[in-house]
Structure 1
């Protein structure tokens, strides 16, 4: 996020989905943070649609694109929503679709279906009939590439959970990792056999498992950091080094900050945790000032690297 040097950031999702640490990290840099989040992802979805309409003056065309808890369906639904200026709603088997349609004041819906979300979409279709809404269907088939893309995402999550499990010596997390790896093997076997639908369904199940696993892992790490000052300081140091690296790549002079970072590492290694905390607060203030004064340089660097400049939609 810092590499784009934004003035403000909107977080979409509650604190379980996007942990509060993101908020404090960004605010420490002087970035304004706003959170759009509900009790679950379905509430968050509606809140995001409503807030985007006000915040960015988005104009919707009076129709909605409906997708289930299904990565492939969501990806295609997003494309259709952008192309047609439609609202996208994300549903599961317990969603009150009729209520959502009434809330959004729309009567036309397009349902995006895959083999993994057919039952949910049948229920959606029934509810749409009840509110006298017009419903069209788009069928999207699971392919080998679809499964492979999801595997990459899920493997990264499993790897992260495993790293935290090793760092916190959590037996429970390691057991979860082993179960996840077994499910991954089953999905890979189905993929190699050409049963893409089965492989995809297993990966969707694993995607949900990793979401819960990451929440648990974050909780374990937070608890460990509360009782282990060295671990907490070392993780903060890693974050600060990443922030310094962003500014360094943009050509900002961070030599004085880098020198203090070396002193900080020595303090931590020597067990001078209280002194280290004081020096860390000083370094954070210096990073904040350097970031605030060098935002344009960071933006210029981002434009050269990514071919884009951060801006409001």
Structure 2
């Protein structure tokens, strides 16, 4: 099965393997990059941050499931010919397996992250500001509670506004003052905290506006239910896959049932027009499902940490997808595809050493092809500008 089971397994395995750091380009400027890709998980806060940064940088956004290594994602990234990949989110959100892929394929990347979504947003703003001078002057900043799903959904509809997430009344005046202006987004749930923020910045920050979400709208409730359903479905698939592997994880079945029950109640409340209640139940369902996903991830890490053959099989599949994407763009990858078949045969025969050697050769040849594509794209862009 090449579903979420194998994806999550290899993600957790790579977390324990260690990855060579990517190239940090903190002193670079916008002109040096012709194609920027932002890789982010589907965590609602991080993906909103990524989309808002992408608007300013004219970057492409590639989204992966939270905590899951999806085998097709690396191929999708390489098909965009990126000369820089910005990973937004920590290694539990966007797993380190992607860093290993980018490193092996010679693609420059940095990771912006912190221990929470609050710290991730600050680190992302700081790194982007250093790499792309003048970035802050093109946008306003929105202060929104990092766990206020309604506020985050509301923010996604606004153009050229970068979120700074907060958890309490602490906020960096230095960062906020870099931007053209500030908007405070609040709803009744976090009203007291946001009022403290407003008092704190009122005398020290220029051009402050405020937007209050008085009620949970039908659209916000529907979006919350959709997010919850995605998480519940993923959690259920992971638990089912573990059951098929005869692996039990204490407590996850009751948690999953609880998440499903909250989701059904949310849908019922939505149908009856109680959007505030539907929203609250959906958020609870999503949070419970994410606990299940995290616990299953930890169990996968324990069970498959030493399964080298499995990791190599996944590696070969990923490299094959990359090669086929390059072929679709006109690259000659015949020899690479031949070596991929040889690597598959070696793994079938349990010849790990030969498989590793072939994989190293494949990665080297793919690096050359990818570099050619990036150089060609830069030349095309330069020609268009002239």
Indicate whether the TM-score tops 0.5.
Answer: yes
> Residues 253 and 109 of structure 1: is their aligned pair in 2 closer, same or farther, counting only changes over 3 Å?
closer
Question: Is 1:123 paired with 2:193?
Answer: yes
Question: Paired residues, what number?
Answer: 293
Secondary structure of the 1:111 match is strand
Asked if structure 2 preserves the Cα contact closer than 8 Å seen for 1:157 and 1:210, the reply is yes
Q: Distance in 1 between matches of 2:369 and 2:155?
A: 41
Q: Distance in 1 between matches of 2:351 and 2:163?
A: 53
> Residues 121 and 48 of structure 1: is their aligned pair in 2 closer, same or farther, counting only changes over 3 Å?
farther
Aligned with 1:204 (options 272, 275, 283): 283
Q: Distance in 2 between matches of 1:167 and 1:264?
A: 27
Identify, as 1 or 2, the structure richer in helix. 1
TM-score (norm 1): 0.78
* Residue of structure 2 in register with 1:257 after alignment: 336
Matches for 1:56-71 after TM superposition, within 5 Å: 56-57=132-133, 58-60=135-137, 64-68=141-145, 69-71=147-149
Secondary structure of the 1:227 match is coil
> Residues 270 and 145 of structure 1: is their aligned pair in 2 closer, same or farther, counting only changes over 3 Å?
farther
Matches for 1:295-310 after TM superposition, within 5 Å: 295=374
* Residue of structure 2 in register with 1:96 after alignment: 170
Q: Distance in 2 between matches of 1:249 and 1:87?
A: 36
* Residue of structure 2 in register with 1:30 after alignment: 106
Aligned with 1:46 (options 122, 129, 138): 122
* Cα deviation digits, residues 222-266 of structure 1 (max 9, x gap): 444322233222322332232123212212222222222222222
> Residues 286 and 63 of structure 1: is their aligned pair in 2 closer, same or farther, counting only changes over 3 Å?
closer
Question: Is 1:139 paired with 2:209?
Answer: no
* Residue of structure 2 in register with 1:16 after alignment: 92
Secondary structure of the 1:171 match is coil
TM-score (norm 2): 0.65
Q: Distance in 1 between matches of 2:262 and 2:126?
A: 38
Secondary structure of the 1:137 match is strand
Secondary structure of the 1:9 match is strand
Matches for 1:147-186 after TM superposition, within 5 Å: 147-168=221-242, 169=245, 170-172=247-249, 175=253, 176-186=255-265
> Residues 273 and 222 of structure 1: is their aligned pair in 2 closer, same or farther, counting only changes over 3 Å?
farther
**Any gaps of 5 or more consecutive residues in structure 2?**
1-76, 382-386
> Residues 156 and 275 of structure 1: is their aligned pair in 2 closer, same or farther, counting only changes over 3 Å?
farther
Asked if structure 2 preserves the Cα contact closer than 8 Å seen for 1:247 and 1:254, the reply is yes
CA deviation after TM superposition for structure 1 residue 288, in Å = 2.0
> Residues 111 and 219 of structure 1: is their aligned pair in 2 closer, same or farther, counting only changes over 3 Å?
same
Asked if structure 1 preserves the Cα contact closer than 8 Å seen for 2:184 and 2:211, the reply is yes
**Any gaps of 5 or more consecutive residues in structure 1?**
309-313
- Taking only aligned residues, the RMSD between alpha carbons, in angstroms, comes to 3.4
CA deviation after TM superposition for structure 1 residue 281, in Å = 2.1
Q: Distance in 2 between matches of 1:239 and 1:276?
A: 14
Q: Distance in 1 between matches of 2:302 and 2:323?
A: 27
**Higher mean C-alpha displacement, 197-206 vs 217-226:** 217-226
Matches for 1:168-247 after TM superposition, within 5 Å: 168=242, 169=245, 170-172=247-249, 175=253, 176-247=255-326
CA deviation after TM superposition for structure 1 residue 95, in Å = 4.2
* Cα deviation digits, residues 83-121 of structure 1 (max 9, x gap): xxx6532122x3414xx236634897532234xxx2313
